[in-house]
């Protein structure tokens, strides 16, 4: 009983920060994202009756005890749903560094969910898969459907799920993930967002999200890149404002992050439409339209301190890949 799945990381346009239910990972707000074609995880899950315990291997890296325990909890949820008791072997590989705010847990739990249920021989609906992935890592639910995705916050576990708004071929926009620091971040998102209510501004953020979701949906429907970009930047700055005013404060940016943000303002002034987004880490996502990608890549490569870049198109969601061998 073995299966392999490939799942993209995703970048949120309107972001998720804060949970209404910590255990079930039901968020305080809905979010919208895009799957990334070149930042992904491939995971094989094998259940066997003669395995004596669960074994989890990250190729090209290692998991901490805490991370391994979280993967095993994910396997446990699958076993309970399917009604099996066999242990599993999990082998996984990312195309990008984990723990740097570039959503390895999203692609990781999406791939684990899709491979796990397939290995167990049980076919769930896409909606159910997003609910299971969400329980591993909230943003993982957005890596399951195709292309441009909304995660409806919901009130219960059953109605907190993700679905596609548009397919991956809907709009030719690009995301450059600019890695300026590939080290593990100090405060993981699960822990960081537990402090949201210590920020005096959190209620304003949450109250403002429904209007931002409507505006983002409109920008996508109109393919209006300027509206889209302004909304993305506004929400990034708003989320980081919350993070920075929490107790203890979370400052995920470093000097390179700020330098890139300033460059983006400058490039825009000079007529290149480019916008930034930043998750819980120092690395920066840059958005442009397909026609501008070469000009932008050139400019990014000229910046000191850029360690690597990953150029993404919108991607399809998580899916099984047959006959894969690591
Ligand atoms: O799902 P998590 O625990 O990795 O949280 C993701 C949080 C952000 O990346 C900061 C925002 C988002 O919506 O992806």
pLDDT band at 316 (very low <50, low <70, confident <90, very high): very high
Count: domains in the chain: 1
Task: Report whether pLDDT(104) > 60.
Answer: yes
The alpha carbons of the chain give a radius of gyration, in whole angstroms, of 19
User: What digits encode the pLDDT tens for the residues 175-199?
Assistant: 999 999 888 667 889 999 999 999 9
**Residues counted in the chain:** 326
User: What digits encode the pLDDT tens for the residues 21-55?
Assistant: 999 999 999 999 999 999 999 999 999 999 999 99
**Beta carbons of 37 and 315 less than 8 angstroms apart:** yes
Ligand 1, atom nearest to 101 Cα: 9
Tell me, using a 6 A CB cutoff, whether residue 12 lines ligand 1.
Answer: yes
CATH of the domain at 314: 3.30.230.10
Residues in a beta bridge with 308: 179
**Beta carbons of 248 and 262 less than 8 angstroms apart:** no
Q: Which residues contact 182 (CB under 8 A, 6 or more apart)?
A: 97, 100, 307, 308
> Over the chain, what is the mean pLDDT?
95
Please compute, for residue 153, the number of CA atoms within 13 A of its CA located in the half-sphere on the CB side.
18
pLDDT of residue 325: 80
**Dist. CA 210–CA 233, nearest whole Å:** 17
Q: Which residues contact 194 (CB under 8 A, 6 or more apart)?
A: 19, 22
Give me 72's structure tokens.
């095993």
Task: Report whether pLDDT(102) > 70.
Answer: no
**Ligand 1: distance of its center to the CA of 139 in Å?**
5
Give the residue numbers spanning the domain of 256: 1-326
**Dist. CA 314–CA 34, nearest whole Å:** 6
Residue with tokens 């847990």: 105
Tell me, using a 6 A CB cutoff, whether residue 189 lines ligand 1.
Answer: yes
User: What digits encode the pLDDT tens for the residues 118-163?
Assistant: 999 999 999 999 999 999 999 999 999 999 999 999 999 999 999 9
Residue 101, sorted as left (phi over 0), alpha (psi -120 to 50) or beta, turns out to be: left
**Ligand 1: distance of its center to the CA of 53 in Å?**
30
Mutate to test the pocket of ligand 1, among 8, 9, 12 (most ligand atoms within 8 A of CB): 12
pLDDT of residue 103: 62
Backbone angles phi, psi at 150, to 5 degrees: -115, 140
pLDDT of residue 33: 98
Mutate to test the pocket of ligand 1, among 10, 15, 187 (most ligand atoms within 8 A of CB): 15
Task: Report whether pLDDT(90) > 80.
Answer: yes
**Ligand 1: distance of its center to the CA of 103 in Å?**
7
**For 181-313, where are the alpha helices, taking DSSP H only?**
189-193, 202-222, 225-244, 255-269, 293-301
Burial of residue 291, with CB atoms counted within 10 A of its CB: 0-12 exposed, 13-18 middle, 19 or more buried: exposed
Tell me, using a 6 A CB cutoff, whether residue 238 lines ligand 1.
Answer: no
DSSP labels, 42-54: EEEEEEETT--S-
User: What digits encode the pLDDT tens for the residues 251-268?
Assistant: 999 999 999 999 999 999
Q: What global pTM score does this model have?
A: 0.97
Give me 285's structure tokens.
């996502």
Strand bridging mode 31-48 / 19-21: unpaired
**Ligand 1: distance of its center to the CA of 13 in Å?**
11
Mutate to test the pocket of ligand 1, among 10, 11, 17, 187 (most ligand atoms within 8 A of CB): 17
- Collect contacts of 289-295 with beta carbons under 8 A, ≥24 apart: 289/172, 289/173, 289/174, 289/225, 290/172, 290/173, 290/174, 293/174, 293/176
pLDDT of residue 267: 98
Q: Which residues contact 204 (CB under 8 A, 6 or more apart)?
A: none
Tell me, using a 6 A CB cutoff, whether residue 206 lines ligand 1.
Answer: no
């Amino acid at each position: 009983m073995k299966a392999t799945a490939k799942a993209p990381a995703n970048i949120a346009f309107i972001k998720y920060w804060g949970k209404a239910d910590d255990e079930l990972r039901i968020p305080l707000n809905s979010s919208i994202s895009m799957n990334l074609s070149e930042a992904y995880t491939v995971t094989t899950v094998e259940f066997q009756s003669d395995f004596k315990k669960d074994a989890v291997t990250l190729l090209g890296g290692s998991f901490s005890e805490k991370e391994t325990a979280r993967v095993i909890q994910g396997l446990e949820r699958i076993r309970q749903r399917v009604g099996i008791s066999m242990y599993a072997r999990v082998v996984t590989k990312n195309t990008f560094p984990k723990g740097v705010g570039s959503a390895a847990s999203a692609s990781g739990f999406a791939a684990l969910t899709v491979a796990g249920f397939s290995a167990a021989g049980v076919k769930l609906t896409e909606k159910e898969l997003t609910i299971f992935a969400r329980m591993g890592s909230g943003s993982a639910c957005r890596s399951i459907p195709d292309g441009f995705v909304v995660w409806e916050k919901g009130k219960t576990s059953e109605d907190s799920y993700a679905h596609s708004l548009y397919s991956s071929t809907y709009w030719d926009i690009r995301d450059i993930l600019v890695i300026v620091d590939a080290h593990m971040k100090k405060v993981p998102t699960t822990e960081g967002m537990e402090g949201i209510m210590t920020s005096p501004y959190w209620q304003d953020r949450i109250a403002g999200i429904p209007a931002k979701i409507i505006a983002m949906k409109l920008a996508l429907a109109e393919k209006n890149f300027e509206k889209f970009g302004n909304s993305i930047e506004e929400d990034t700055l708003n989320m980081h404002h919350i993070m920075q005013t929490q107790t203890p404060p979370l400052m995920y940016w470093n000097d390179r992050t700020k330098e890139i943000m300033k460059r983006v303002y400058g490039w825009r002034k000079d007529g290149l439409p480019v916008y930034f987004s930043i998750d819980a880490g120092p690395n920066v996502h840059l958005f442009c339209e397909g026609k501008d990608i070469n000009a932008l890549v050139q400019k990014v490569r000229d910046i000191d301190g850029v360690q690597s870049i990953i150029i993404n198109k919108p991607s399809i969601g998580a899916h099984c890949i047959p006959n894969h061998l690591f």
